[in-house]
Structure 1
């Protein structure tokens, strides 16, 4: 299935300006079809920044250097790209002659962002769900290809292709790109994103819950005192909030279940310590005042970005719906309810006192229906979320046959990953012809930000060296 060659329209381009780090940056706005199968229909706007390494020449030249583009595919889904001066790619890739393009994916950053009030303009829950069906990786890749065709239309043939760098969800996008538009790609880098090509949400969560349990055990091994502290906090939440939960400053609700989602941090560098810091803080509040302070409640409400990046919750399970006939149907909740360590997901759970000496286990990168009952912004999208959860008409995300005959060089890093299981990643890599993988059990999912020197050293060695 080859994609139609829709070309984005460049709406505006700013004059280049300097930012710290000796970067020359431009701001670009594009217009693309909302639905690429209807190119003459409604359009939406996309925002991007490009960056090159600024060099002040001894002799000024009027010639414009056409550097090959490197497109950054952001993780998530649902989060915008960083500013060029905040991107590790600026520090590690621009010296190699690329022009970095940081494109906010549709619905994120400045690119037609999704929120409760912008969705309300679309219509009711069904109209909103139909709109959001056009915000998955298959459409994001079409947007990217349309932007490439726009930016390189006057380039010589050898410079029209671009390189991509996909982190996490961006790695999943990369494999969609390789499946359906490989003609636009010169080379691809993937970090922490070799997700399964043909396992649905239930199968994926059965594996990632086990990785999350391992991280919980590491947490309690480091902070054994938190076994009691967390159960005490959970009981206080139930006491103060009753059946509904403790009110949060922006309108959300703190429940035991929502507290348990702090385990999302466990897959990141420093994540175990970040959760422990919350427990110290909450315990201190209760010890000194018997209630949680506003500052603590505000920090908990902002944690995870649930209300400011709704695509992450609305379209998370659909990321794993690899083709027609596959629906999420709240797979994370259904799978978790059958795991001993996650009794708190069961409606019949009687509370922390039922656990005896056993600890409460945090969840990981899982989305649950209660997110749409406890997060102030997501509460407004509850109906939409349920429609998307039960939808099974998703287009295919991958073409395994095409990946098996891939000719685009691919360089990947696979980690000791709570979110993208290393075993599943190994299977995926075996199905992509020509891929080179650096695999390690001493880096976590956030290594691109936390330990970039190690990541880029290994990736670029794969690119520049030979195995034979």
Structure 2
């Protein structure tokens, strides 16, 4: 039985479930594993079934955790299914508190049984973090294999081609093959397109709220287009809150000394500060940043001029508040979802690629001097990852050896039927 427990939240009836799924889906199909016929397999489904699994992963399984959420008043009615494809990568499903804690759920429970599966590696689905990656490397070393290569190949099993097979197996094995509606948010839109390319027969309708990938996808092309947008978004923030331009500049000048750390002990560098722009594409990000810098300084009235005056004009004596450093750490650290940054650029990897990704965002940033840490006004990075993050963020450090290999790889799971 897959059911773990059943309980009530305010306005919601919730069931928790977990089922095993193969770590490596190559060599089989969701239909075969579920014991159902699949005469009309798509080319992509058949292609993976004809491949061989990695010998290191053959026969190994992961846990796929999912919730079923219903209206208590209509629990006895057989409503159709809607599965929520969460954003990410590396994002667990929302944990509802009541029907209104997620904007769409209050309406959805009037018409659907809601299925909330944690994507593999996230939440309660065989979560991947530094300790897991270290263990994978240690096992490889004990077997005389290359630890970093084993870790890299393991991480490849947590991309969209595996995720959609987990969900198709879930549909076939636990819901009797009933077609469902999909709702994809952000990265969930990528999963939507991959799912429609591989298992269209299982989809009654597909909705997305952002995150439709360009097909064929290319990480370098994505960042070539998004870096100019980062400039505009940063400039818009400064135009809206001119004092924050001065505050950001003073904080950056203070960090240039290289002696400031975040509460977790990691370096508080200017480039780390630039990561706070990650949410500038969404509302109310400018207001959140404005609030962040409102209490950046220990001494003075909160303005950059007062903080510098209190330091006797010596920028390296400006004191940054503990609350500010803690807030920046929470905004830029990765302990709760390390796969978000680890897999960030590989969501654009599709099948056999003509060239490796090679840190696409970092390559684009290097072409744009306006993003240099010494330039003022300081430009902020939006959703972009960089090699140095895997040297400085404690949650990401264990992933660095694997990342160096993945960035040179050109063979990934095939996602889209073009």
SS of aligned partner of 1:398: coil
Gaps of 5+ in 1: 1-10, 58-63, 345-350, 401-468
> Are residue 89 (structure 1) and residue 89 (structure 2) matched?
no
Note if contact 2:333-2:393 (Cα within 8 Å) is conserved in structure 1. no
Distance 2:333 2:81 in 1: 30
Misfit runs of 4+, over 6 Å? none
Which residue matches 2:21? 32
Q: Give the Å deviation of 1:285.
A: 5.6
Q: Give the Å deviation of 1:307.
A: 2.7
Distance 1:131 1:139 in 2: 11
Which residue matches 2:330? 302
Aligned length in residues: 362
Which residue matches 2:290? 276
TM (norm. structure 2) is 0.82
SS of aligned partner of 2:383: coil
Which residue matches 1:327? 356
Q: Give the Å deviation of 1:214.
A: 1.6
Which residue matches 2:249? 231
Which residue matches 1:141? 164
> Are residue 315 (structure 1) and residue 343 (structure 2) matched?
yes
Which residue matches 1:386? 404
1:259-285 Cα shifts (integer Å, max 9, x gaps):
001010211211011122222222346
**Mapping for residues 404-443 of structure 1, pairs under 5 Å:** none
Note if contact 1:373-1:379 (Cα within 8 Å) is conserved in structure 2. yes
Q: Give the Å deviation of 1:396.
A: 2.1
1:219-259 Cα shifts (integer Å, max 9, x gaps):
01101222222121111112252xxxx22222322110010
> Are residue 190 (structure 1) and residue 190 (structure 2) matched?
no
TM (norm. structure 1) is 0.74
Q: Give the Å deviation of 1:88.
A: 2.6
Note if contact 1:314-1:388 (Cα within 8 Å) is conserved in structure 2. no
Gaps of 5+ in 2: 29-57, 138-146, 301-306, 311-316
Change (3 A) 1:302 1:88: same
**Mapping for residues 53-72 of structure 1, pairs under 5 Å:** 53-55=71-73, 65-72=77-84
Comparing 299-308 with 170-179, greater Cα deviation is found at 299-308
Superposition CA RMSD, Å = 1.9
1:17 aligns with one of 7, 16, 23? 7
Which residue matches 1:106? 120
Q: Give the Å deviation of 1:343.
A: 2.5
1:291 aligns with one of 309, 312, 319? 319
Distance 1:34 1:41 in 2: 8
Note if contact 1:255-1:374 (Cα within 8 Å) is conserved in structure 2. no
**Mapping for residues 205-224 of structure 1, pairs under 5 Å:** 205-224=223-242
Note if contact 2:267-2:392 (Cα within 8 Å) is conserved in structure 1. yes
Which residue matches 1:451? none
SS of aligned partner of 2:377: coil
